[in-house]
Amino acid sequence: MKLILLKTNLVEGLTAVERAVNESSNLPILKNILLKAEGGKITLIATNLELAVEYSIPGKVLEGGIIAAPFSLLNSIIRNLAAERISIEEEGRKVSIITDNYEATLQGQDPKEFPIIPSIHDETSRLTLATSSFREALGSVIVAAQYSDIRPEISGVYLEYSGGEMILAATDGFRLSERKVDPGSVKSDSEKISAILPLKTATELLKMFKEQHEITVFVESNQALLSAPNERVISRLIDGSFPDYRAVIPKNPPHEAVVERQELINAVRLASSFSGRANDITLKTGDNKKFLEVYATDSALGESSYKVPAKLTGEKFSVVFNWRYLLDGLKIFSGADIVLGIHSSERPALLHNPKEPHLIYVVMPIKG
């Protein structure tokens, strides 16, 4: 193998595949990446057995080949080089890195020991949409996901395509977020597609596919492939059925408070300092129904009260929430106002904005 690369491009590729390198693994080969040059194309590949990332970078291929190289050492060397033009040569499992004034040789590994990267055999179940639309929707729902040993089916983000509409949703049993993607921005040959992406995969995907391209999502029974022009991610899927979360979404809450979203965020943050170990804060309507009071108290710390101007409908209410869960929901919206819909102190509350009909957030109160 003989390659000529620009440092900028190589660093970009190393950054992309780093997310799938498993430095703590008991399998030494997983601490390596595959460096492959075939047909004039240079590809970097890494896997932790649950997630695999392939990233193609531009460069000149003088001689093709493939080698497993230690990621940590290779990454450290490349990032600290001053030269922009880098030559990489491989012979006898030795990887040489050469610039005008520097040369190093790394001990590579047999590429045959590297795990086989799964491939998608059925490409009919696929969705195509803009990378920005996918990342934006994913970022809106992932806040409600949490790893669970007891209920693995909720340890990720649910993806569903049905009737021309794509939906992402996540829940940890205490809160729920659902985001609908604009139907005009999604293309598919399938009538229905569903999958549960593991939380770790979803978290890493938020850091990837940042360029403005189209992303194609292929889904099989136990794995998914997400593909963009220079980047491919293959992930296992979570077995099981995602819960029927739509049944818990509040319908027509009788009590509503319309408030300025950023001011409510500030009020929740201030109250959180007095919330104590339970992380509980109280939202209650004022006597004249012209403000929403955000209140917290702790016997050892004191108390805090912030009155947020509000437009209130229905009867007065007083509901206790986990401030972290409430704040997470407020932050995923972008509009100036937020509508808080309340049924009772024991039923789920609904956060939404009529100007953002594609997004909802549901949070359970803390029972007194």
- In this prediction, residue 255 carries a pLDDT of 94
Which CA distances in Å does 159 have to 75, 144, 149, 367? 34, 14, 21, 31
Q: Which of 214, 245, 276 is the last residue of a domain?
A: 245
Domain range for residue 277? Answer: 249-363
Q: What is the rounded CA–CA span in Å between residue 197 and residue 155?
A: 8
pTM of the model: 0.90
The answer to whether position 118 is within a domain reads: no
Q: Which of 216, 245, 274 is the last residue of a domain?
A: 245
Q: Are residues 241 and 278 in the same domain?
A: no
CATH number of 268's domain: 3.10.150.10
DSSP assigned state of 101: S
Q: Which of 211, 245, 279 is the last residue of a domain?
A: 245
Which pLDDT tens digit goes with each residue over 94-135?
A: 999 999 999 999 999 999 999 999 888 777 789 999 999 999
Q: Are residues 235 and 258 in the same domain?
A: no
Q: For residue 89, what is the enclosing H or E element? A: strand 85-91
Q: Are residues 67 and 97 in the same domain?
A: yes
Q: Are residues 13 and 103 in the same domain?
A: yes
Q: Are residues 83 and 151 in the same domain?
A: no
Which pLDDT tens digit goes with each residue over 12-67?
A: 999 999 989 988 778 899 999 999 999 889 999 999 999 999 999 999 999 999 99
Contact 322, 283 (CB under 8 A): no
Q: Are residues 338 and 254 in the same domain?
A: yes
Q: Are residues 108 and 151 in the same domain?
A: no
The amino acid occupying position 169 is A
Q: Are residues 357 and 254 in the same domain?
A: yes
Tell me how many domains the chain contains: 3
Q: What is the rounded CA–CA span in Å between residue 320 and residue 326?
A: 10
The answer to whether position 306 is within a domain reads: yes
The Cβ of residue 276 has, within 10 Å, a number of other Cβ atoms equal to: 15
The answer to whether position 121 is within a domain reads: no
- Structural tokens at position 181: 């993607």
